[in-house]
Amino acid sequence: MGEAYIYDAVRTPRGKGKPDGSLHEITPVELAAQVLKAIRDRNDLDTANIDDVLLGCVMPVGEQGSDIARAAVLQADYAQTVAGVHINRFCASALESINLAAAKVMAGEADMAIGGGVESMSRVPMGSDGGAMISDPQVTFKNYVVPQGISADIIATKYGISRDDADAYAVESQKRAAQSWKEQRFKNSIVPIKDVMGEVVLDHDETVRPDTDMQGLGGLNPAFAMMGEGMGFDAVAIQKYPELEAINHVHHAGNSSGIVDGAAGVLIGSKEMGERLGLKPRAKIRAMASIGSEPTIMLTGPEFVTEKILKRAGMSKKDIELWELNEAFASVVLRYMQAFDIAHDEINVCGGAIAMGHPMGATGAMILGTALDEIERTDKANALVTLCIGAGMGTATIIERV
């Protein structure tokens, strides 16, 4: 089996995912196309050498439907021979796209491929695609399906994570994101997004709030209490977890990931193709894994996929020098830290989705890029990147500098 190398990683800034967000006027295909153009231009690529572009997208309907990856390839003026495929593994779609791109390279099916993702949450809102998982009574009953926010609150209740714990984590995420921007840690990865006239509309993550504090967060009402108590979802959760007397609703907009627009891409290829094109590999893909986990609590997959990937890589927890876990909800990260006894200064060191947002289909590529930049900046050997996933799954990738 061959090896797969990372040659580049770029992302758009993340715009507030509402009609007043700076990226709302940009079509999702254009967000993806500008990422693809940046990869081509930064690396002076003849795109005919790229075999495939895999893009995650979680709401693949409307203008994000019909294989947006192929549309983006064409809009970015890539060679006609470059194929495109859309991938949906919910929140880990982009990381899965990277893993599949790497797998193609390792298997010898492709020499060079791009894995990434796109999501304009302001233009194609969550819930636009329906789906058996949340609406078909045969499925929802059998699997005790609850919304993700309730799942995050189950984690908090089951593992003793308090509202204060979650809020303190969120405050720190905001601080780290602000500090990272101040130190220009993302400088190498950010592709400012331009409008139809070619003017830059956004060059920074729009939702960071450096002045967030415990007092401010303390004033926010739990976001999922009404849904849990009034609509019956808490009862469903307790049917699955009867050891819990009640669900402690700790999450709100301030300690959960933000709704944003954005896109990202990672250039992956074989050693030979990199050499032929005169590219310098930044890291290699050491291991990849995906796993299914209990779907009601839903968001504990990172724990189990981490165990799986470490085993596959022949590594132990101690071998990992940097951890990056998507901040879907504070409790997801806090539980993960608890499960593996990870210190806060080893994980999500540049802040995460609570501060900068979680453009669902693109996040996996964004946080892998962040981890890559960070191990280069701090001269670390490796990083483990993972995300929790809807319906109870986890996907992970270990990257290693070369």
Partner 1 sequence: MYKNIKFDIDGDGIATLAIDLENQSMNVWNASLIEEFEAAVDKVLGDDKIIGAVVTSAKDSGFLAGADLRMLGDSGANPGVADAYKAAFNLNRILRKMETGGKAAKALVKGETTKPFAAAVNGLALGGGFELALACHYRVASDSPKVKFGFPEVQVGLLPGAGGTQRTPRLAGIQNALQLCTSGKPIDAAKTKAQNLIDEIVPHAEVVAKAKEWVKANPKTKAPWDNKGFKFPGGQGAMDPRVVPVFAGAAALAQKMTNHNYPAVQKILSCVYEGSIVPFDTAIKLESKYFTTLLMSAQTQNMIRTLFINKQAAEKGMARPKSVPKLDLNKIGVLGAGMMGAGIAYVAAKAGMDVVLLDRDEASAEKGKDYSRKLNEKGISRGKLSKEKSDAMLAKIKTTIDYNDLKDVDLIIEAVFEDPQVKKDVIEKTEAVIGKDVVFASNTSTIPITSLAKNSSRPENFIGIHFFSPVDKMPLVEIIPGQQSGDLPLAAALDFVGKIKKTPIVVSDTRGFYANSVVMPYLNEAMLMVKEGINPALIDNCAVHMGMPIGPLALSDETSQELGLRIMKSAQEEMGDKYQPTGTEDLLEKFVNELGRKGRKSGGGFYDYPEGGKKHLWPELSKHFPLAENQPSPEEVKERLLYCQLVAVARCYAANVVHDPASADLGAIFGWGFAPWTGGPMSHIDTIGADMFVETADRLAKKHGERFAPPELFREKAKSGEKFYKAA
- Residues with a catalytic annotation lie at 91, 358, 388
Looking only at residues 211 through 240 of this chain, which bind partner 1 when binding is defined by CB under 8 A? 231-233, 235-236, 238-239
Q: How far is the CB of 242 from partner 1 (least distance, A)?
A: 4
Instruction: Name which of 237 and 268 has its Cβ closer to partner 1.
Output: 237
SS3 360: coil
Degrees, nearest 5: CA angle 321-325-327 = 140
Could you tell me whether strands 112-120 and 193-194 are parallel, antiparallel, or unpaired per DSSP bridges? unpaired
Query: How far is 133 from 266, CA to CA, in rounded Å?
Result: 30
SS3 356: helix
Instruction: Name which of 152 and 383 has its Cβ closer to partner 1.
Output: 152
Instruction: Name which of 144 and 159 has its Cβ closer to partner 1.
Output: 144
Distances (CA, A) of 333 to 35, 191, 214, 325, 387: 28, 28, 18, 7, 10
Task: Label residue 381 exposed, middle or buried (CB < 10 Å: 0-12, 13-18, 19+).
Answer: middle
Among 136, 183, 275, 346, binds partner 1 (CB under 8 A): 136
Query: Taking a C-beta distance cutoff of 8 angstroms, is the pair 361, 119 a contact?
Result: yes
Query: Taking a C-beta distance cutoff of 8 angstroms, is the pair 123, 263 a contact?
Result: no
Instruction: Name which of 138 and 316 has its Cβ closer to partner 1.
Output: 138
Selected range binding partner 1 among 78-86, 124-132, 206-214, 262-270, rule: CB under 8 A: 124-132
Among 75, 140, 162, 338, binds partner 1 (CB under 8 A): 140
Instruction: Name which of 142 and 280 has its Cβ closer to partner 1.
Output: 142
Among 196, 200, 246, 402, binds partner 1 (CB under 8 A): 246
Q: How far is the CB of 29 from partner 1 (least distance, A)?
A: 21
Q: How far is the CB of 128 from partner 1 (least distance, A)?
A: 6
Looking only at residues 153 through 172 of this chain, which bind partner 1 when binding is defined by CB under 8 A? none
Query: How far is 25 from 261, CA to CA, in rounded Å?
Result: 10
Q: How far is the CB of 248 from partner 1 (least distance, A)?
A: 12
Q: How far is the CB of 244 from partner 1 (least distance, A)?
A: 6
Among 134, 277, 315, 339, binds partner 1 (CB under 8 A): 134
- Tell me the torsion sign for CA atoms 237, 243, 244, 245: positive
Count residues near partner 1 (CB under 8 A).
Answer: 28
CB neighbourhood size of 67 (10 A): 16
Instruction: Name which of 38 and 227 has its Cβ closer to partner 1.
Output: 227
244 interacts with partner 1 by CB under 8 A: yes
Distances (CA, A) of 303 to 108, 313, 325, 372, 386: 31, 16, 10, 21, 9
Q: How far is the CB of 150 from partner 1 (least distance, A)?
A: 9
Query: How far is 373 from 91, CA to CA, in rounded Å?
Result: 21
Residues near partner 1 (CB under 8 A) are 127-131, 134-138, 140-141, 144-147, 231-233, 235-236, 238-239, 242-246
